[in-house]
């Protein structure tokens, strides 16, 4: 018989001990609470040895374990398939409940159903809670009870629904001795898990709730001017909190509550971005087909030529379009890409190189530290015009004018494409348009030091329009 005094909290994308819904409920329910984390082989087995995210998770878990140890407890580490590991641990610890925070990705939903089923067979309850979003599932619907698929009315309804209740923090204050330990289940090293140790601090990435707090405090100073700075990749404008939101090392309620209270123009714009995050989460939950195919049926028949050489050049940051190359090199080197650049790079792949957005989506999924299925899929479908509230197919970013507008002095380009550093602020956006004298003076031979453009934007634009018109049937 399960021991009705023991609960197991299963940590997943919520690697913190404060304002944590499942931990709060566990501490209210049972006098003895265990905490566990599974290094999930079904996910890890497909990742490269140098994956930065595994280092981020590993270090965040180390901090969590250290915090728990200060309270006389520990984080119990497992390595395997959670469908097997969690029920086995629940049996071993003889708990009555397993509690966790809800995950809305299709694979995670399937996994949790299997875990719940196995636990049920052993007489153990599986309870999940809303934690990583403000509103989930059916909480924000249209008046006719259907999900929103356009952002602005969703945002208005979201704001209308928001009351202080939804922003309350979940206090997680254990009684002395309530957080339990067993002595085994130590944290495996990254090498034991099959991964290399990546120096994240070298890339200014600070994991765990300590890193989240540091990043957040730094951003609060800049929040009032966020609306003016957020679009310029050479400026430290955005929050850089996406990886912390992804792994739950910071609480979304804390951020939204602060933005609402602060109320400046910057805070309001930033709040909108956090609402986009909820928006895409509910889109994926209501329309799981979007994870694999165009949200809009019209565009499910798009046929992309998918030139493999162009795809390789895009991935490597060698397209000959400096802003696109700088963006891709930022991604490859740091695991982060500025939002404006994500839009430019994605639009370029789909509408200049005529490559299926899913190939770009998959590359971002492999490289982004903050990779999140809902936001990444939403961002790609928006850029590709296939999404729920996407940019119309005929609105095609011009990579040169985007570069001139958002990196006017070429500061960001110079950082990531140093071979062009000596070009003038004017020439750096389209080096092939510079005079041979200027190129020679800057020490640039196109095709040798830096690629000539692999496509002509004007020509590709027309082809993209034809492609989309054909899919729409004329």
Ligand X SMILES: Cc1cc2nc3c(=O)[nH]c(=O)nc-3n(C[C@H](O)[C@H](O)[C@H](O)COP(=O)(O)OP(=O)(O)OC[C@H]3O[C@@H](n4cnc5c(N)ncnc54)[C@H](O)[C@@H]3O)c2cc1C
Work out which of 342, 358, 367, 414 binds ligand X, going by CB under 6 A: 342
Stretch that binds ligand X, among 371-379, 390-398, 433-441, 443-451 (CB under 6 A): 371-379
User: Looking at beta carbons only, is 342 or 351 nearer to ligand X?
Assistant: 342
Contact flag: residue 118 with ligand X (CB under 6 A):
no
User: Looking at beta carbons only, is 246 or 429 nearer to ligand X?
Assistant: 246
User: Looking at beta carbons only, is 190 or 368 nearer to ligand X?
Assistant: 368
Stretch that binds ligand X, among 132-140, 162-170, 285-293, 377-385 (CB under 6 A): 377-385
User: Looking at beta carbons only, is 119 or 243 nearer to ligand X?
Assistant: 243
Contact flag: residue 238 with ligand X (CB under 6 A):
yes
Helix (H, G, I), strand (E, B) or coil at 397: coil
Contact flag: residue 353 with ligand X (CB under 6 A):
no
Provide the minimum distance between the beta carbon of 269 and ligand X in the complex, in angstroms, as a whole number: 9
Contact flag: residue 240 with ligand X (CB under 6 A):
yes
Contact flag: residue 372 with ligand X (CB under 6 A):
yes
Helix (H, G, I), strand (E, B) or coil at 189: coil
> CA–CA separation, 155 vs 288, rounded Å?
21
Q: Do residues 71 and 181 lie in contact, with contact meaning Cβ atoms separated by under 8 Å? A: no
User: Looking at beta carbons only, is 272 or 463 nearer to ligand X?
Assistant: 272
Nearest to 97 by CA among 86, 107, 108, 105: 86
Provide the minimum distance between the beta carbon of 158 and ligand X in the complex, in angstroms, as a whole number: 13
Provide the phi-psi class of 94: left if phi over 0, else alpha when psi is between -120 and 50, else beta.
left
Q: x/- binding map, residues 193-232, to ligand X, per CB under 6 A?
A: -------------------------------------x--
Q: How far is CA 369 from the centre of its chain?
A: 7
Work out which of 320, 378, 399, 410 binds ligand X, going by CB under 6 A: 378
Stretch that binds ligand X, among 165-173, 202-210, 292-300, 363-371 (CB under 6 A): 363-371
User: Looking at beta carbons only, is 81 or 262 nearer to ligand X?
Assistant: 262
Contact flag: residue 256 with ligand X (CB under 6 A):
no
Contact flag: residue 320 with ligand X (CB under 6 A):
no
Q: x/- binding map, residues 264-303, to ligand X, per CB under 6 A?
A: ---------xx-xx--x-----------------------
328 Cβ contact list (under 8 Å, min separation 6): 314, 315, 316, 317, 319, 337, 345
Contact flag: residue 364 with ligand X (CB under 6 A):
yes
How many Cα atoms within 13 Å fall on the side-chain side of residue 348? 34
Q: In the beta sheet, which residues pair with residue 116?
A: none
Answer positive or negative: Cα dihedral of 433, 438, 442, 445. Answer: positive
User: Which tokens in the block code for residue 156?
Assistant: 């208005």
> CA–CA separation, 250 vs 210, rounded Å?
9
Helix (H, G, I), strand (E, B) or coil at 265: helix
Q: Using alpha carbons only, what angle is made at residue 147 by residues 158 and 379, rounded to the nearest 5 degrees?
A: 75
Q: x/- binding map, residues 166-185, to ligand X, per CB under 6 A?
A: --------------------
At what angle are helices 265-286 and 151-161 packed, to 10 degrees?
110
Provide the minimum distance between the beta carbon of 288 and ligand X in the complex, in angstroms, as a whole number: 17
Provide the minimum distance between the beta carbon of 461 and ligand X in the complex, in angstroms, as a whole number: 19
Contact flag: residue 375 with ligand X (CB under 6 A):
yes
Nearest to 125 by CA among 34, 24, 7: 7
> CA–CA separation, 402 vs 262, rounded Å?
31
Q: Do residues 374 and 280 lie in contact, with contact meaning Cβ atoms separated by under 8 Å? A: yes
Provide the minimum distance between the beta carbon of 450 and ligand X in the complex, in angstroms, as a whole number: 25
Contact flag: residue 248 with ligand X (CB under 6 A):
no
> CA–CA separation, 337 vs 249, rounded Å?
20
Q: In the beta sheet, which residues pair with residue 7?
A: 33, 97
- Could you tell me how many helices (H) and strands (E) the chain has, helices first? 22, 5
Provide the minimum distance between the beta carbon of 333 and ligand X in the complex, in angstroms, as a whole number: 16
In the bound complex, which residue of the shown chain has the CB atom lying closest to ligand X?
379
Q: Rounded to the nearest 5°, which phi and psi values hold at 36?
A: -140, 155
User: Looking at beta carbons only, is 65 or 389 nearer to ligand X?
Assistant: 389
Work out which of 96, 239, 251, 334 binds ligand X, going by CB under 6 A: 239
Binding site for ligand X (CB under 6 A): 230, 238-242, 245-246, 273-274, 276-277, 280, 339, 342-343, 346, 364, 368, 370-372, 375-376, 378-380, 383
């Amino acid at each position: 018989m399960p021991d009705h005094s023991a609960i197991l909290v299963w940590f997943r994308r919520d690697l913190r001990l404060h304002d944590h819904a499942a931990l709060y409920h566990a501490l209210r329910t049972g006098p003895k609470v265990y905490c566990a984390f599974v290094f999930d082989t079904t996910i890890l087995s497909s990742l490269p040895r140098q994956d930065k995210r595994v280092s981020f998770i590993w270090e965040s878990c180390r901090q969590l374990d250290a915090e728990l140890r200060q309270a006389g407890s520990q984080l119990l580490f497992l390595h395997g398939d959670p469908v097997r590991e969690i029920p086995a641990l629940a049996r071993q610890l003889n708990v009555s409940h397993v509690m966790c925070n809800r995950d809305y990705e299709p694979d995670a939903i399937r996994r949790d159903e299997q875990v719940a089923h196995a636990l049920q067979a052993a007489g153990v309850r599986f309870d999940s809670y809303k934690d990583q979003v403000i509103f989930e599932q059916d909480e924000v619907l249209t008046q006719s009870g259907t999900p929103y698929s356009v952002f602005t009315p969703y945002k208005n309804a979201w704001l209308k629904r928001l009351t202080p209740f939804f922003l309350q923090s979940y206090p997680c204050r254990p009684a002395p001795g309530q957080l339990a330990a067993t002595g085994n289940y130590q944290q495996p090293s990254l090498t034991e898990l099959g991964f290399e140790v990546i120096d994240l601090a070298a890339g200014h990435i600070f994991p765990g709730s300590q890193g989240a707090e540091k990043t957040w405090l730094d951003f609060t100073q800049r929040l009032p001017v966020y609306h003016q700075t957020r679009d310029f990749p050479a400026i430290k404008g955005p929050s850089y909190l996406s990886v912390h939101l992804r792994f739950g090392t910071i609480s979304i309620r804390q951020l939204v509550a602060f933005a609402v209270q602060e109320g400046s123009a910057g805070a309001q714009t930033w709040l909108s971005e956090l609402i986009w995050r909820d928006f895409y989460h509910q889109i994926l939950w209501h329309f799981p087909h979007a994870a694999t195919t165009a949200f809009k049926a019209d565009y499910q028949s798009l046929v992309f030529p998918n030139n493999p050489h162009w795809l390789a050049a895009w991935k490597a940051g060698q397209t000959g379009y400096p802003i696109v190359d700088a963006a891709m090199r930022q991604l490859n080197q740091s695991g982060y890409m500025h939002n404006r650049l994500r839009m430019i790079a994605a639009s370029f792949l789909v509408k200049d190189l005529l490559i299926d957005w899913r190939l770009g989506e998959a590359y971002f999924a492999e490289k982004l530290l903050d990779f999140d299925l809902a936001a990444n899929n939403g961002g790609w479908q928006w850029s590709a015009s296939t999404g729920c509230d996407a940019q119309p197919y005929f609105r095609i970013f011009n990579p040169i004018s985007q570069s001139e507008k958002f990196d006017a002095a070429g500061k960001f380009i110079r950082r990531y494409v140093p071979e062009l550093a000596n070009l003038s602020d004017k020439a750096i956006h389209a080096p092939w348009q510079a005079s041979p004298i200027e190129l020679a003076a800057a020490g640039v031979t196109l095709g040798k030091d830096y690629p000539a453009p692999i496509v002509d934007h004007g020509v590709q634009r027309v082809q993209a329009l034809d492609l989309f018109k054909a899919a729409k049937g004329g």
